Amino acid sequence: MIVDFSLLIEKQPAGDCVVLFKGQQSIINNSQSRTLEPDALSFVDSHAHLEMEQFNGDREAVFQRARDAGVESIVAIGSGTGPGSLDCGIQLAEGHEFVYATIGIHPHEAKLATDADFAELEQLAKRPKVIAWGEIGLDYFYDHSPRDVQRQVFTRQMELAREAKLPIVIHCRPSNNSENAWDDTIQMLRDHWSTSGLGGILHCFTGDWKHAKPAVDMGFYVSFAGNISFPKAENIRESAKQMPLERILIETDSPFLAPIPHRGKRNEPAFVVNTAEVVGQLHGMSQEEMGRKTAENFYTLFPQTRNRNGR
């Protein structure tokens, strides 16, 4: 994946961090982070890029910290750096019982996709730890691939995911001050996916409720990442408030978008508990309650993962 890392990870002073919501204030102290009891808590990180080089030095420790924080399941996203790395999520999932994988070609790398890559994806979709196809979709912000090519590759992958009976994980980012990618994504889902009955996830949601609702009506879940905790992310919090509880998921999008109080650091799955806290506050729930609710939502979307976690 080609990402301008500086846009996603920002420096943040240590100490007390203040998260301002409309009409409320939450203070999170870095020095008073709690040790969570895994037996009493359950969290799912529904989207993490743990194959990336930022984790090469301590990947196993990252997994252990997640488990210690009460994270039951992690989804390792398998889009990697595009063709040539499409099994990266599977490699992680097959080595860890609580990790699951996706496969797919990100819109950034759409221009690199070949028929051979699609044939490889068809075979990878049969691997037992693969639970979804993604992340796929449209990115009109960076435009690393021509938009017409992005749409072609998105359509092709929806067709393949339908054949494989896998839900899809959507990446959607419009250009500045525009809804263009949302308009195209929703229309393409209506045209090519709505009748599949498979649903999916709107990953790292940053849109408004009007963008989420058509997808929710088509069976999608909406996943919120650490940027929901950023002071200027009022629109994301407003969307989360309007989202039906039964359709909310949480994620880290590691190594990007670390939530307050970790903003400016490399993100990792253990930090999903901080996102659960923020989303929970928006719905009048505790961190633990939101963790359990979003975990249950995840197991509803992916019932094949339920028994593996004793659910």
pLDDT at 40: 56
CATH number at residue 60: 3.20.20.140
pLDDT at 243: 97
Residue 188 and residue 158 in contact, taking contact as beta carbons nearer than 8 Å: yes
pLDDT at 41: 73
Domain count across the chain: 1
The whole domain housing 299 covers 5-309
pTM of the predicted model as reported, rounded to 2 decimal places = 0.87
Residue 98 and residue 167 in contact, taking contact as beta carbons nearer than 8 Å: no
Token match 């002071």: residue? 231
> Which positions ≥6 away from 30 have C-beta within 8 Å?
14, 15, 16, 17, 261
Residue 311 and residue 299 in contact, taking contact as beta carbons nearer than 8 Å: yes
pLDDT (tens digit, 0 to 9) for every residue of the chain, 311 residues total?
Answer: 433 333 343 333 333 333 333 333 333 333 233 333 444 579 999 999 999 999 999 999 999 999 999 999 999 999 999 999 999 999 999 999 999 999 999 999 999 999 999 999 999 999 999 999 999 999 999 999 999 999 999 999 999 999 999 999 999 999 999 999 999 999 999 999 999 999 999 999 999 999 999 999 999 999 999 999 999 999 999 999 999 999 999 999 999 999 999 999 999 999 999 999 999 999 999 999 999 999 999 999 999 998 666 55
